[in-house]
């Protein structure tokens, strides 16, 4: 929103930075995000609305650009022999999209939210035809979607301590911040350094000696 965002700022002693307590609601900005955890790179686009027409067109273009950078599959034929590798990624899912009768080699796994628009038959068939299998996070399991973690980082870096005046300004700042992030991206790993920091902070809050018990025996998208 075009409202003031709290954040740390440098200000002269005795003259703290002030934010207006009133603002004009000029609309909202949304950020389409496609995140690759293994490298930390992110593809984004600022938009005013996220209808299927907007999201699907952007997503297809970005996925095609990514596929163009991947090595060509050794076996490009459509064959029933490809099905086991696709079905393996559906194990444990409560809602499994119906796979096409003939499938190309699996080239990409797309993890995203379990929204109705993500289950559109036309989009599913397009993904399957290009060797992409969608894996849906559980309803209410947004914490499993690393793209949301990436969005929080970009939002904080772009907007904290600032007062944007228009949705277009917000979108520009977010896209520029993502471009800067991609110059030196940080890979995301389940159970990585961030989790270690959270565990240390938790132990500090709990207090105690920090002693442990040894019994002779002794971490994804």
Q: In the chain, where do the E strands start and end?
A: 30-36, 41-47, 108-112, 132-136
In sequence order, the β-bridge partners of residue 112 are: 136
In a domain, 196, yes or no: no
99 in any annotated domain: yes
pTM recorded for the entire structure: 0.73
Looking up tokens 């035809």, which residue turns up?
Answer: 129
If we measure between CA atoms, which residue out of 14, 66, 27, 22 comes closest to residue 170?
27
Nearest to 42 by CA among 133, 120, 155: 155
Range of the domain at 81: 30-183
Q: Residue 213 falls within a domain, yes or no? A: no
User: What is the structure's pLDDT at 45?
Assistant: 94
Alpha-carbon distances, residue 94 vs 66, 91, 144 (angstroms)? 29, 9, 16
Q: What is the pLDDT of residue 218?
A: 33
What was the pLDDT predicted at 146?
83
The pLDDT tens digits along the chain (221 residues) read 565 565 566 667 777 666 666 666 777 889 999 999 889 999 999 999 889 999 999 999 999 999 999 888 776 666 667 888 888 888 877 777 788 888 888 899 998 887 888 888 899 999 999 999 988 887 776 666 788 888 999 998 888 877 788 889 889 999 999 999 999 998 887 766 767 777 787 777 654 444 443 444 333 33
Query: Which pLDDT belongs to residue 65?
Result: 95
Say if 128 falls within a structural domain: yes
Give the torsion sign (CA, 136, 138, 139, 143): negative
pLDDT for res 176: 94
- 47: CB partners within 8 A, 6+ apart: 29, 30, 31, 32, 54, 58, 171
Total count of domains within the chain: 1
34 is a domain residue: yes
CATH number of the domain at 96, please: 3.30.420.10
Q: 175 near 45, Cβ under 8 Å?
A: yes
The answer to whether residue 165 is domain-embedded is yes
Residue 45 lies in a domain: yes
Residue 2 lies in a domain: no
């Amino acid at each position: 929103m075009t409202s003031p965002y709290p954040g740390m700022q440098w200000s002269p002693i005795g003259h703290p930075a002030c934010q207006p307590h009133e603002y004009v609601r000029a609309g909202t900005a949304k950020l389409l995000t496609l995140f690759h955890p293994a490298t930390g790179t992110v593809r984004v686009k600022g938009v005013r609305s996220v209808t299927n027409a907007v999201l699907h067109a952007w997503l297809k273009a970005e996925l095609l650009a990514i596929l163009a950078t991947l090595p060509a599959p050794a076996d490009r034929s459509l064959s029933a022999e490809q099905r086991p590798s696709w079905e393996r990624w559906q194990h444990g899912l409560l809602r499994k999209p119906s796979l096409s009768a003939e499938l190309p080699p699996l080239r990409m796994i797309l993890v995203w939210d379990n929204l109705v628009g993500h289950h559109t038959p036309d989009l599913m068939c397009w993904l399957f035809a290009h060797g992409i299998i969608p894996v849906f996070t559980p309803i209410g399991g947004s914490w499993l979607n690393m793209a949301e973690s990436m969005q929080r980082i970009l939002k904080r870096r772009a907007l904290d301590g600032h007062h944007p005046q228009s949705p277009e300004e917000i979108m520009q700042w977010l896209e520029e911040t993502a471009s800067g992030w991609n110059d030196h991206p940080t890979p995301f790993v389940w159970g990585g350094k961030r989790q270690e920091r959270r565990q240390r902070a938790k132990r500090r809050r709990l207090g105690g000696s920090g002693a442990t018990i040894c019994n002779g025996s002794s971490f994804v998208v």
